[in-house]
Structure 1
Amino acid sequence: MGRFLWPVLGKARYWRTIRIGGRAFLLAAAGIVGVVVGGVVTPGTGKILVDTADLQLSAWYAVLTLLQTLICLHGLVFRAAGVPFRETWPLTVPSTLITIVVATAFHDVLSPAGSISMVGALLLILVRNEWVWAVCCGIGLIALATFWLWPMPESSMPDDASIAQGAVVGIVGAVAVRATSWLALRTVELAAANAEIARLTVHQERTRISRELHDRLGHNLVSIMLRTELAERLAEGDRRQSERESRAAHLLARQTLQEMRSIAHGTLVADLDAELAAAIDLLESRGAVCQIRIGEQPEGAAAETLAWVVREAVTNILRHSQPVNCTLELVRIEDRFEFLIGNDGLLSTESVVPGHGLAGIAERVERIGGTYGAESVGDRFLLRVTLPSNSPVPEDVPADE
C-alpha cells in the first residue's frame, strides 16, 4: 500500500494539484470534514462516552473515523489530478478494513451504518458520474441490511426517529460530499484549461511571428541583396542607375526595419496593390519580361492573404530561378478569385518540394477556405491559388484588422 501514499503522479504533481485547487479544495475538505464530524464523529463519540464512560474508547472511535476522512480527501486529490479509478480503487482496502474494525469493536454500542457510509463517501469521490449514485444506493442498502443480518443488542437498538434522522443525514451528506468534490474537480480542470490556453496562445503568437518574419523579411532581404548586387555591377558602367539601386536598397532596408516592428506588435497588414506593384518592379529589375493580367481584386481577408502569396511567390522565384518570362494573372470566376503566377528559368526541380515558403502559402490559403497548387514542367514553374470571394477572417487574426 506504500505506493498509494503518492501514486504514479508523484509528490510534485500531488502538491501542485492541491495548489491549483486552492480555495475549492479547502471548501471541499471543509464540507467533507463537516459532514463526517457532524453526522458520524460527534454523535458516535457522544454515545460511546455516555454508554461506556470510556474516554479512551471514544477517542479511538474519533481517530479511526477521521482516518477514514483523510483517505477520502486523499482520493479527492487523486481524482483532481486525473488518476483513474482503476488505479485508485485500492484506497478502498484500508477504508474497508477500518470500517470492519469500527463495526466490530463498537457493534454493542453503535450501528455499523455510519462506518459503512464512510466507504460510500470515498466511492462517491472516486467513481465516475454514471455509476456514482448507483454506488451510493448500494452502500445505503448494505447499511440497511446490517440491521437484519447483524442485529444490535436490544438495549442499543436505535428507535425509529433516530433511524430516520440518520437516513436524512446520510442523504444530505452524500449530496454535500458529491457537490463539494465536483467543485474542487471543476476548479482544477478550469485551471488546467486556462494554463493550456495560455500555452497555445504563446505558441500561436510565436508561429505567427515566425511565419510573417519568413514571408515578409525573407522577401525584403532577397530584394536588398539583388539590388545591391545590381548596383555593384552598374557602379562603373551606369553610375546614375547604380545610385538609384543603392537608394532603393536603402529605402527597402528602412522599410524592413519598420515591418519588423509591426510584426512584433501584430499590426502588420499586407497591401495587395503595393505587393503586386513591388513584385512587377522587382522581377523586371531582374531582367524578366512580365505578362500581367489583373482584373477585379478581392477584399478583406482574401486580399491580405493574396498579398502574402504574391510576396512569397516572388521570393521563391528570385531564390530558385533565373526568370526570363513571368506571368501574373488575377481574375474573378463566379464566386471565387483565381491567381496564377508562373516563370521559366527554374534552376532545379528540387526547389518545388514543399518547404517553409510553399508550406506557408498553403497554410494561409487553406485557413480562409481556398485551394493551392504548384507544379513544374521542365524549367517552368506554375503556382495557382483559388480563393472564395467571401473569405472568413482567419482565426489568428483579429476581426478589426
Structure 2
Amino acid sequence: MPVTAAGSDAIVTAPRAAGRLALRHLTGVSLVAVCAIVAGLCLADLPESPLAAWTASVGMSLTAVAAAGAFLVAVYRPARYRWIGPVLAPAGAASLAACIAGQAGGGDLWPWVTPPALAAAAALAVVPVPRVPATLVGAGVVAVATAATTADWWRGITGAVAFACCVAATLAQMWIWEMAERARRDAAAAAVGAERDRFAAELHDIQGHSLQVIVLKSELAARLAATDPDRAVAEMREVEALARDALRDSRDVARGLRPVALATEIANAVGVLTAAGIACHADQIAAAPVRQERLLALVVREATTNMLRHSTATRATITLTADRGTGVTLTVVNDAPLQPSATGDRGGLDNLAGRIATAGGSLTWRREPDHFQVTARLQDTTA
C-alpha cells in the first residue's frame, strides 16, 4: 500500500523531487550535446592547411572530451572531483591552439572561437573561482591571440565578445542547476530545523508542567521547614518523585523511547524527505506488533536523519513486511551511500543495533556504490 506525505505541501513537493532529478539529467545531457555540436561544427570547417587541420582537429577533440567529462562531474559529483579543474588546463591550451590554427588556416571566426569558450566554461563549472573576472581574462587572451594571428584587431575584439557570450550561455545551464541544488539544500535545512522545533516543543510540553510543580512544591517546603517539618518532608518527597519522573521523561524524549506509532513515523519520514527534495515512498506496509513499533520507528527516524545529514540521495524507499512465522522486516534504501563516519557514531545505527539485538532481532546496513540499505528484523514471539 503506497504511503504519501500528508498535507497539501507534500502533494506539491512530491513532483518537485522528480522534476529536480529530470533537471539534473537534462543539464548533463544538454551540456554534453553542446560539446558534441561544437566539435562537429569545428571539424566540419577544418582549414585547408594539413598542419593547421591536424592541430585544429586534435585540439578540438581533446577539448570536447575534457569539457564533456568536466560538465558531467560538475552535475553529478560536484564535491568530489574539484581536482579536475586544473586538469582542464591542457584542454584549454589545446582549444586555444585549435582556435588559432583554424583562423590562421583561413577558417571563419565562428565556430572556432567556441573551443576556448567551451574549455573555459567547463573549468569554471568545477573550480570555485569568480566566474565573471575569469571570463573577462579569458576574453582578453582570446582577443590578443586572435588579433596576433590574423593581424586584425577588430576581429580580435569580435572574438572576445563571442567568447564571453559563449561562456555565459553555457554557464547559464549550470547556474539553473546550481539554483535547484541550493533550493534542495535549503529545503533539507528547513526540514531539519522543523524536526528540531518539533523536538523542542515535545520536550517543553512534557517538562513544562512537571518543572513548574517542582518549583511550587520546593517553595512550599521551604516555607514549611520551620513551622511544619513533617509536611515539609512530605512535600520534598513529592518533589523527589516528580524530579525522577521528569528525568525519566527527558531521557525517553532524548532517546526516542516515548510511544510512537510506526505508521505515523513512516508518514513523517516520507513528508520530511519529500520536503527535502528526496523522492520517498513506502510500499507493502504491514501491521507490526505494538511492542515492536517503537524500535522500528526509531530505525525509520535514524535512517531519515542520516539521509538528511550525510547523504545526497534523490530517491528513498521504506518497506515493511510482516509474517507470522518469521517476524517483521523493515528496509530503508536510498540511492546515495552515506559517508563512512555517518553510521559509526555512538547513538546512531550502532547503538540501535545493540538495542534491537537485545530485543531478539538484528539491524544491518550495507553500503554499495549506488545505494545504502538499512534492514531491521524482529522475530515474531507470538508464533
The structure with higher relative contact order (CA 8 Å, sep 6+) is 2
What TM-score bracket applies, with the shorter chain setting the length?
Answer: 0.3 to 0.5
Bigger Rg, which one: 1
Give the TM-score of the pair, scaled to structure 1: 0.41
